[in-house]
Amino acid sequence: MLLYPVLSLSPFPSPISNRSLRFRPRRRHFAPRHAVQCAAAASGRDEFTAKSGYLFELSTTEADSLAEYRIPKIAAVYGRKPLLVARRLVQTGLAFGKWFGLRYIDTLLDRSESMFQVRAAELRKILVELGPAYIKIAQAISSRADLIPPSYLDELSLLQDRISPFSSEVAFSMIEQELGLSLVELFSEISPEPVAAASLGQVYQARLRKTGQVVAVKVQRPGVQAAISLDILILRFMAGLVRRAGKFNTDLQAVVDEWASSLFREMDYNNEASNGIKFRNLYGSIEDVVVPLMYMEYTTRKVLVMEWIEGEKLSEVKDLYLIEVGVYCSFNQLLECGFYHADPHPGNLLRTYDGKLAYLDFGMTGEFTQELRDGFMEACLHLVNRDFDALAKDFVTLGLLPPTADKEAVTKALTGVFQNAVAKGVRNISFGDLLGNLGTTMYKFKFRIPSYFSLVIRSLAVLEGIAISFNPEYKVLGSTYPWIARKVLTDGSPQLKSSLENLLYKDGVFRIDRLESLLVESLRAKTEKVIVKQAAGTDSRVVMKEILSFTLAEKGEFVREIIVQEFAKGLDALGLATLETAAARVPFSGFFYSPVLTDEDITNLRTFQRLMLLLLGARRKEEFNTGSRQASHDKNQILYMEELSSVLNQVESVQDVLPVLSIILELPPESQQQLLQLPANLVRQLISRAAARTVRRVFL
């Protein structure tokens, strides 16, 4: 990954900076084409390469065979270099052996806890000195709670990819060699030294001679692919030993293979440019999101030229609005399109000087299948609603647990982990704390976490981490959940429809609380620059308009059908309650009239009350929460008619009805047309219920 620093540039058309290099005439000699050589061989300044210990050469044939991640090819190349492999294996073994030896001594001396900070810092230093493969793998597993103890996550998350640069002479030679043109033909000016350096490459700022556009030129570190190939071969061997010794459920060699494939794709700048183009096409039109333009004609496997984006790191500015923009963009990546930026660390997120959020570095991206998207949303719903039994099943769907897992034990563990966290309400759930608690459980029970899931979690955790640095009360899940709620309410996916139905109904009983919560939360799904109201119920007229607009729209069809169905049940119960109340006032009615109001009808009447309150935009008051009332069945017909009257009394005059009528007139013609069709649908449902009840009473 590349960390793009903020530069103070002079306005164009003046030179890029006082460090800019005016090109010399084209050099006559290029770097040798017959070998791929690490930078340290050409320049003693590259301390990172020297510490990494990969000062060696590969033939062109050998280097080309390592362009893609294929273990047999890698093994074949290094099988012919036993001394090189042995040297690297000894270097790696000694580094980790010394660290594990010290950890073992700490255990014997019962000082593991007190020495944690020291050992964690030592481990981080070892990873940096061992080179790019270990840096990248460590960064990848820093969110893998099933692979390492949670106590190490924080320390590894501090691992920075800021590495000493390699020689600019080598870099410029590589640019000319890869693009087949001299620097003077390509650029009118370029910075003489890199403006950023990382384990895989470094970046220069330049101006295209052809168009005058200011660009970032990314050049791959020579020899890095050969070095990573060797280290991956050793890592796979070590992973097999560790898995057998630690008895992990996760296939550690498969994890190494998966991340190695990702690293190899990241080292192919053609792939990164294609990812950037796709990301720009999908999300570049989102308001206040900027995605740099890729110049494919100047891009090869080792050189990438892209639009220069100038700004400040998002983590260094206090802009909560852009965090919300990032959350909205992440929602689109994860739950709408399924193509997401897999490495959104603070260095890859900039606030441009005109107040927009810029995404950089597209070497690591991921694909989120529709099934996994639906499963992720279901898991969030079940978590918020504390349905831990269903959450355990979601873990199977998401690949966190095998189908043979003990669901009862998992449910019990998840309840213990999440019960207190979600009791505070969705807007107060800390994503970081949630992840930490889950990580402890995962490590304890040896559960597995697919790599895609850790990337998804990381993308959200990074945003929360940036936000809480200047607003400790910020909760990314509280900002994400409204989009999830709206998606669940409007998505046409059969899986999500089934999930919504299961969420809203339990044993055939409609749970109005959950619909009310989903509707209210979905109304918070906004990204305006103005401060969004945290409680949608503060303005009844706004609530009425939002709910009507939402339920009458085409995407609200499924929710609309549920509301009409429950209204029909409520009106049916109202008719029965009215009949029963009237009959009770007739003398001696007990001799010729038997009560018809069942417990189900009473429940439907309560639901009807809540629906009236919701659609009228009124806040639910304690006196309307009749679920806790304990009334005798003989008094139900009077008690619930009084409760219903108290709801209907909210519309006591024409003045109270006018706001509702004015809202209807403001709705789009399509919504008004849908509204006109509702009475007919309601009547059909009422007739159907009455007919079914008559059949039951006559023939059963």
Degrees (nearest 5) of the Cα angle 564, 566, 570?
115
> In the prediction, which pLDDT does 271 show?
95
> In the prediction, which pLDDT does 38 show?
37
pLDDT tens sequence across 121-137: 888 788 878 888 887 76
Residue 343 catalytic?
yes
Place of tokens 């390699």: 166
* Contact between residue 303 and residue 310 where contact means Cβ atoms under 8 Å apart: no
> In the prediction, which pLDDT does 630 show?
45
Mean pLDDT of the chain: 76
* Rounded mean pLDDT, 473-480: 78
List CB contacts of 641: < 8 A, sequence separation 6 or more: 577, 578, 581
pLDDT band at 538 (very low <50, low <70, confident <90, very high): very low
> In the prediction, which pLDDT does 55 show?
53
513 pLDDT higher than 70: yes
> In the prediction, which pLDDT does 147 show?
52
* Contact between residue 237 and residue 52 where contact means Cβ atoms under 8 Å apart: no
Q: Quick one: DSSP state of residue 196?
A: E
Compute the half-sphere exposure of residue 598: CA atoms within 13 Å on the CB side of its CA. Answer: 6
> In the prediction, which pLDDT does 35 show?
36
196-197/201-208 β-pairing: antiparallel
* Contact between residue 206 and residue 215 where contact means Cβ atoms under 8 Å apart: yes
Structure tokens at 235: 């890592």
Weakest mean pLDDT among 225-239, 445-459, 657-671: 445-459
Rounded CA gap, 344 and 330, in Å? Answer: 10
* Rounded mean pLDDT, 405-419: 80
Degrees (nearest 5) of the Cα angle 395, 400, 403?
70
Share of the chain above pLDDT 90, in %: 17
Structure tokens at 333: 């990546």
Q: Which of 348, 480, 280, 432 is nearest to 4 (CA)?
A: 348
440 pLDDT higher than 60: yes
β partners of residue 214: 207
Weakest mean pLDDT among 78-87, 336-345, 440-449: 440-449
Structure tokens at 348: 């890859």
| Highest mean predicted confidence (pLDDT) among 15-24, 232-241, 533-542, 607-616 | 232-241
* Contact between residue 288 and residue 355 where contact means Cβ atoms under 8 Å apart: yes
Weakest mean pLDDT among 21-30, 232-241, 352-361, 675-684: 21-30
Place of tokens 């290099």: 21
Place of tokens 């109001």: 597
pLDDT tens sequence across 638-668: 554 555 555 455 445 445 556 666 777 777 8
> In the prediction, which pLDDT does 656 show?
55
pLDDT tens sequence across 269-292: 999 999 999 999 999 999 999 999
21 pLDDT higher than 50: no
Q: Which of 189, 208, 673, 158 is nearest to 465 (CA)?
A: 158
Q: Quick one: DSSP state of residue 298?
A: G
In terms of DSSP H, where are the helices of 491-539?
494-504, 512-522
Rounded CA gap, 700 and 697, in Å? Answer: 6
Burial code (b: 16+ CB inside 10 Å, e: under 16) for 318-350 equals ebebbbbbbbbbbbbbbbebbbbbbbbbbbbbb
pLDDT tens sequence across 139-150: 666 655 545 665
Query: Where in the chain are the domains?
Result: 47-160, 167-220+268-308, 367-535, 537-584+597-617+658-699
Between 416 and 588, the higher pLDDT residue: 416
162 pLDDT higher than 60: no
> In the prediction, which pLDDT does 117 show?
77
Weakest mean pLDDT among 180-189, 299-308, 375-384: 375-384
The CA distances from residue 536 to 9, 136, 499, in Å, are 44, 44, 25
Residue tagged active-site, from 343, 361, 374, 394: 343
pLDDT tens sequence across 187-207: 999 999 999 888 888 999 999
> In the prediction, which pLDDT does 515 show?
87
> In the prediction, which pLDDT does 254 show?
80
> In the prediction, which pLDDT does 276 show?
96
- pTM, entire model: 0.74
> In the prediction, which pLDDT does 22 show?
38
List CB contacts of 565: < 8 A, sequence separation 6 or more: 685
Rounded CA gap, 487 and 663, in Å? Answer: 24
* Rounded mean pLDDT, 376-383: 86
Peptide bond into 450 cis (omega under 30): no
First to last CA, the chain: 72
Q: What are phi and psi of 216, to 5 degrees?
A: -100, 130
Q: Looking at beta carbons, which pairs linking 650-656 to residues 24 or more positions away fall under 8 Å?
A: 650/616, 650/618, 651/616
Q: Is 316 left (phi over 0), alpha (psi -120 to 50) or beta?
A: alpha
pLDDT band at 8 (very low <50, low <70, confident <90, very high): very low
* Contact between residue 374 and residue 493 where contact means Cβ atoms under 8 Å apart: yes
* Rounded mean pLDDT, 418-439: 71
384 pLDDT higher than 60: yes
Rounded CA gap, 477 and 487, in Å? Answer: 15
> In the prediction, which pLDDT does 519 show?
84
List CB contacts of 292: < 8 A, sequence separation 6 or more: 216, 276, 280, 306, 307, 308, 309, 358, 360
57-59/35-37 β-pairing: antiparallel
* Contact between residue 195 and residue 98 where contact means Cβ atoms under 8 Å apart: no
pLDDT band at 541 (very low <50, low <70, confident <90, very high): low
Rounded CA gap, 313 and 3, in Å? Answer: 9
* Contact between residue 555 and residue 673 where contact means Cβ atoms under 8 Å apart: no
Rounded CA gap, 328 and 532, in Å? Answer: 14
289-290/357-359 β-pairing: parallel
Whether CATH 3.30.2420 fits 167-220+268-308: no
Structure tokens at 75: 């093994």
pLDDT tens sequence across 81-123: 898 889 888 888 898 899 999 989 988 998 887 887 788 888 8
* Contact between residue 419 and residue 386 where contact means Cβ atoms under 8 Å apart: yes
Q: Quick one: DSSP state of residue 270?
A: H
